Structures are given as structure tokens and as C-alpha cells.
Amino acid sequence: MRASLSLKLVSVIVLLGGIAAGISAFALYEAAERQHWSERTEAVWNAGLQASGLARAIEHTVVQATALYTAADTEEARGRLAALQGALAEVERLRGPFLAAMEGHLPAAEERRLDLAVKEFVAYQTDTAELGLTVSPKAALIQGTDEATVANRERMVARINDLGRTVLATLDAQRQATAEARDRATLALIAGPALAIGLGLVAALWIVITQIREPLNRLRQAMQDLAAGRLDGVVPFTSRRDEVGAMARTIAAFQAALIEKDRLDLSARARVDEDAARAERLAEATQAFE
């Protein structure tokens, strides 16, 4: 069964509508990708800033602890305790956001080690400050400047700073990869719809030319042949099951009617000629008899 012209035209419209929907979907996808890129960039910047902030807070805590440990006596040390407690609270406040920001950038084992190291640093500084207040600042200074403790703290701070720099360094690679992907997407957004629209127009022109204009021209020629009395031609497209086929069958029926009319006219003329010949013979016979 042949599809009707209306169905073919609807198919072209659906095709063009699908192309438009595809373009819209691709544009929405690109907008979502750019939003994701912005979120990833913000997350990377946040991780770098959290690492830098935690490292500075630890270094600031060391400065405040040293100020307490170098106090002349316990009374002076008590006056400097509030600053150290505030610095330790800041370290503890920044620890959680730092670890949360580093998710996906650190193995779980190293994340746990850093978490434990920061907690141990806070606990150690708290205990050392308590020693300075209850025994003497000098005893606290001796404990706080232990070489192994200082080395561990410096390694921890260096690792946190390295993490911040490493995470920020990935931003450049991401930016380059995203720029390349964006260029490809822009090219696809321009070339893809243009190609799709071009194919849709070609399909529409093909339907108009091969399924409408050319058949109508041939049917018009068939009608002109009938009007000129040329009844021996074959009417095309009579087997089609669409509007053109219906028109062709109508013309074929009209052709058959004209052929039948010509046959009847010829038969009538033959009878008239036969009657005339018979009358002439009768007249000749009558004349001869006289």
C-alpha cells in the first residue's frame, strides 16, 4: 500500500520538527555541560582555597602556641591562651570543609591519615598549652619544639599545601579540555543542524518534485492528449494508492468513456453508410425496373 501525499508531507514536517527538537535538546545539553563545568571549577577553587586556609590556620596556631610557650610565667601564658584557643578552634573548623572539598582528589586512606594528623596536631597543641599553664611555659616550649613533632607538623602542612597546588593545577588541564570540547560542540551545533535541515529540505523537494509536480505534469499531458483526440495513450500512475492515483484512475475512466463514445460513433456512422448504400441500390433497382 502506497503512502498518501498528505502522509508524506506530514513525514517531512515531523522530520523537520524532530530536527528542531534535536537542536533544542543539544543546546540544553550544552548548557548543562557548561553548568557542570562551572560547578567543577568552583569545586576545584574551593578545594584549593580550603587547603590554603587550613595550612595558614595551622601555621597561625604554631605562632600563637609559640607566643604562649615563650611567656615569662604562667600568668602571662594565661593571658595568651585565648588567642591559641581561637587559632585551634579555627583549625578544627576548617578541617571538615577541607576534607569534604578533597573528596575525589584523595585516596580514602590518605584522607583518613590527614584527618588523623590534624586532630593529633590540635590535641597535641592543647596538651602542650595545658602543660605551659600548669607546670611552666618553658616545659611547654621544650615539648612543643620537639624535633619529631616539628617535622611531622611541617610534613603535614607541606602535604596540605601540595594538595592545594595539585588540585589547582588540574584546573588548567580541565580548562583546556573543556575549551576543546566546547569548540567541537560549537562546530556540531552549527554543522549538525545545517546538515539535518539540508537533508530535510532535500527530502521535501524530492517529495514535491517526484511525487507531486512530475506526476501532475504527466497527468496534464494525458488530459491534453485526450482533448486532442489521442486516445491510444496509457494513463500513468493508475496503480498508485494516493491522491495522484485517484486522479489518474479518473482520467483513465474518462479515456475509456471517450473510446467507447468513438466506438459507438463509428458504429453509428457505419450503419448510416450502410443504410445510404442500401437506399442507393434500391433507387437504382427501381429506376432499372421502370
Q: Look up the CATH number of domain 5-202.
A: 1.20.120.1730
Mean pLDDT across the chain: 82
More reliable by pLDDT, 77 or 98: 98
- Report helix, strand and coil shares of the chain as percent, to nearest 5: 90, 0, 10
- Digit-coded pLDDT (tens) for 136-183: 777 777 877 778 878 888 888 888 888 888 888 887 777 777 777 778
Domain ranges of the chain: 5-202, 231-290
pLDDT number for residue 215:
87
Instruction: State the average pLDDT over residues 69-97.
Output: 84
Is the CB of residue 192 less than 8 Å from the CB of residue 200? no
What is the average per-residue pLDDT within 43-60? Answer: 88
Question: Which range scores top for mean pLDDT: 176-185, 188-197, 244-253?
Answer: 244-253
Among 43-57, 92-106, 238-252, 274-288, the minimum mean pLDDT is found in 274-288
For residue 186, what pLDDT band results from cuts at 50, 70 and 90?
confident
Residue 3 has pLDDT above 70, yes or no: no
What region does 237 belong to: left with phi over 0, alpha with psi -120 to 50, or beta?
A: left
Measured in whole angstroms, the distance separating CA 192 from the mean position of its chain's CA atoms is 12
DSSP code string of 106-165:
B-HHHHHHHHHHHHHHHHHHHHHHHHHHHT-HHHHHHHHT-HHHHHHHHHHHHHHHHHHH
Residue 4 has pLDDT above 70, yes or no: no
Model pLDDT, residue 289: 64
pLDDT at 1 over 60: no
Q: Residue 17 pLDDT more than 60?
A: yes
Percent pLDDT > 90 in the chain is 4
* Alpha-carbon distance values, 264 to 161, 234, 260, 284 (Å): 109, 21, 6, 30
Res 290: pLDDT:
60
- Comparing CA positions, the residue from 182, 183, 197, 138 lying closest to residue 19 is 197
